Amino acid sequence: MDTVTPDDITCRLRHFATAVKETSTHAAERSAFGRYRAGAPYFALYPLRRLMASGETEARCSPEHHAEFGRISRDLAALEEEGGSAYRKELFSDLFVYTEAYRTLFCYHELGMCSLAGIARDPLREEIAVLLAELEGEFPLEEIRALVAGLDETLCLLHRSSSSGTPRADPAGGAAGEAPSPYGESIPAFHRPRERTGSL
């Protein structure tokens, strides 16, 4: 992993702020795969939160960084309050769409239209992980979570069967939702649900 600098954190905070503002301003234009998406603030928030809380990066986070994170989180809370249950349902609907799209990638692979590398690198899987964490306890997610975990395992099995007999770790051996990737990185884990307090 490359060294994270204070400027990197500032840039990610700026991206988080922009995502919150645009998601609020362009509410009527939002769609699952459009320019403006309901999940955009969370797709910026969760990786940023994980980065700022990591031991390696924590020392590089200034009080100003934490203050800005808190301010943007309050803006997100205002967006959530304004959107109410309709906004949460929109997120859940998008989660369903993204999960179906993730499954469709495997169909494309069967037709020779998508490589295993393409599936592994597609941002869909990370976005699914984010929304699963964000909507935990609000909607029935068990079937979606099981489907995603099964697709993760299928990705590893497909690569193992296409490789030249090199032994690979059992996909079931890792943490749930974190099967070994054939490309040297973990398939995105299921994130830890956040507390809506503006803290990490």
Domain ranges of the chain: 6-173
pLDDT digits (tens, 9 = 90+) for 48-105: 999 888 877 777 899 999 999 999 999 999 999 999 999 999 999 999 999 999 999 9
pLDDT at 198: 53
C-beta of residue 159 within 8 angstroms of C-beta of residue 182:
yes
Per-residue pLDDT at 177 exceeds 60: no
pLDDT digits (tens, 9 = 90+) for 133-171: 999 999 999 999 999 999 999 998 988 887 755 444 433
Average pLDDT (106-120) is 90
pLDDT digits (tens, 9 = 90+) for 59-70: 789 999 999 999
Q: How many CA atoms does the CB half-sphere of 12 hold within 13 Å?
A: 21
Confidence of residue 192 (pLDDT cuts 50, 70, 90): low
pLDDT digits (tens, 9 = 90+) for 22-41: 999 999 999 999 999 999 99
pTM reported for the whole predicted model:
0.83
pLDDT digits (tens, 9 = 90+) for 117-127: 889 889 999 99
pLDDT at 189: 56
pLDDT at 60: 83
pLDDT at 191: 65
Q: How far is CA 126 from CA 36, 64, 80, in A?
A: 18, 28, 21
Q: Dihedral (C-alpha) 86, 89, 95, 97: value to the nearest 10 degrees?
A: -80
